Amino acid sequence: MVYIINKINETIHSIWPKSAIKITEDILNKKPSYILTLSKNSRSRRFKEPLNKYRINIAQILFVPHNLSGKNLCPNAGICEKICFAYPGNPGRNQFISQLNRTLWYHDDFSGFLTKLIEEIINFINYCKRNNYYPVLRLNGYSDIRWEEKKFKCKDIKEVLEKKNYNLGQYRYKIDNRKIKSNEINNVETYLQKRINLSLERNKNRKFTDDDELTIFDLFYDILFYDYTKIPRNPNQIPSNYHLTYSYDKENAKKSNFVLPKNLNISVIVTKDLKKILLKEYPNILIDGDAQDCRILDDINNPSKKKVILLEYQKQNFHEPKVEEVAFIEKEKFIEKFKNFLN
């Protein structure tokens, strides 16, 4: 334990040299009171406005990324290990400790963690129903876990489902179409409903028997999920209600076995100036990833065409690599790298 605590403190200090956070044994392993953070309570305030317009509400799990907890949640992290979005200057002490304890809970008692997660997802869905929101889930807020491989048996979650009055296979999140809406909002609603219908169709004959093995995506098959990932996947490994965006990393791209996945949209960090130029030149192919964070919406237009999502480089408040190691600065190099997407 002492070794782990020392390691965590060392890592905290290397990321935030001025941080006053010091982890001690007595604050570790205290289960946080909640697992999901709603987008309305998250730090990403800049994203709230457009998503509110579409009545989308995102709930996400915020862990501490990479190996900050002593156990690695991001097996394919490259340069992002040093510039992860989870490191926005000095974090608040309470928030950091609750993220750390949430991560340890996930590692040490997955079954207890899962039960609480399911309970919170049901609460979230009910909240969205009452308030006319589309519930959307992001399980890898600051992590890169293959949730589609995290299986559990129906009988192991029965108790929590009964407690929440949730019937397996009978639950439907039906969108309550608003009467007055613009074409833009109409397009978003139609697209979300189409994706949900696809998942409903694929699961319609599914029998939920006690020994049936499920994932979170099976359990909530009428709800949409999305994540960024650095782990390429075969298309048939991705559940129909799960949208993944591959997160390009300059360090990973240097590895000899690196191959750019063809079946996923790609997010790429570029400088502010380059983003402006590129969006002007390729308005139908490139997407401003900073305009909103619900990556599912990137596929509304021309869903079969893979897109490149541009994310603006933002310097964090601590020592980090040079900008060119993280972001694209030159248009020519960007075009050369992503020419297959741009044609």
Contact between 143 and ligand SF4 by CB under 6 A: the answer reads yes
Nearer residue to ligand SF4 within complex by CB, 267 or 271? 267
Structure-token match 């030159």, residue found = 330
User: What whole-number distance in Å separates Cα of residue 189 and Cα of residue 173?
Assistant: 13
Binding mask 218-257 for ligand SF4 (x = CB under 6 A): ------------x---------------------------
One of 8, 60, 62, 144 touching ligand SF4 (CB under 6 A): 144
66: left (phi over 0), alpha (psi -120 to 50) or beta: left
User: What whole-number distance in Å separates Cα of residue 75 and Cα of residue 12?
Assistant: 19
Q: Which residues of 21-54 are buried (b: 16+ CB within 10 A; e: fewer)?
A: bebeeeebeeebeebbbbbeebeeeebbeebeeb
Question: CB of 93 within 8 A of CB of 320?
Answer: no
Q: Smallest distance from the beta carbon of 81 to ligand SF4, in angstroms?
A: 5
One of 35, 74, 274, 326 touching ligand SF4 (CB under 6 A): 74
Q: Smallest distance from the beta carbon of 266 to ligand SF4, in angstroms?
A: 14
Q: How many other CB atoms sit within 10 Å of the CB of residue 127?
A: 14
Contact between 77 and ligand SF4 by CB under 6 A: the answer reads yes
Contact between 80 and ligand SF4 by CB under 6 A: the answer reads yes
One of 21, 23, 56, 84 touching ligand SF4 (CB under 6 A): 84
Contact between 81 and ligand SF4 by CB under 6 A: the answer reads yes
Nearer residue to ligand SF4 within complex by CB, 78 or 199? 78
One of 21, 86, 264, 308 touching ligand SF4 (CB under 6 A): 86
Nearer residue to ligand SF4 within complex by CB, 39 or 229? 229
User: What whole-number distance in Å separates Cα of residue 204 and Cα of residue 119?
Assistant: 23
Among positions 150-209, residues that touch ligand SF4 (CB under 6 A) are none
Binding part of the chain for ligand SF4, among 137-145, 172-180, 211-219, 321-329 by CB under 6 A, reads 137-145
Residue 248: strand, helix, or coil: coil
Bridge partners (DSSP) listed for residue 209:
none
Q: How many other CB atoms sit within 10 Å of the CB of residue 268?
A: 24
* 56-61 vs 36-38, strand pairing mode: antiparallel
One of 8, 21, 62, 65 touching ligand SF4 (CB under 6 A): 65
Which residues of this protein are in contact with ligand SF4, per CB under 6 A? Answer: 65-66, 74, 77, 80-81, 84, 86, 142-144, 230
